[in-house]
Amino acid sequence: MRMRCAFLLPFLFVACSREQHPLAGNWTQVTADAKAGMTLEFEVGGARLNVHTAPAADGGHDHVHGTYTFDAATKQLTVQAPLLGAGKAEAWSGSLEGGKLQLSSPDGKLEFQHKEGDYHH
């Protein structure tokens, strides 16, 4: 029994600490037509970002990788990733406010809402 508890303790710590980070979980894009958009996954305790692009006509999607910085005190966020595809802006800035994440660049503005759990293919 002690061995099992000792084995599970690190996983419990990671699970608990992960949910305390304001960016933990999935962030789904809010679109004007309510169609599925991209999904953002932030590495908690790190700086990596994984983007699942909006679903294609066949239901598949691509992945874009980037980095981010987040200031928990000011809730300001910067993202380095081509969120709108190749040839578009890679530098995005924004904020987390009231459960909504807003990012902007010279190519436009994007809004995301928090969704519990991990992205599943």
Phi-psi map region of 103: left, alpha, beta (phi>0 left; psi -120 to 50 alpha): beta
pLDDT score of 32 more than 60 = yes
Alpha carbon distance 101, 110 (integer Å): 8
pLDDT score of 4 more than 80 = no
Question: Cα angle at 18 between 4 and 77, to 5 degrees?
Answer: 165
Q: Where are the domains of the chain?
A: 2-115
DSSP state of 97: E
| CATH number for the domain formed by residue range(s) 2-115 | 2.40.128.280
* pTM, 2 dp: 0.78
Side chain identity at 55, as an amino acid letter?
Answer: P
Report which of residues 89 and 34 the model is more confident about: 89
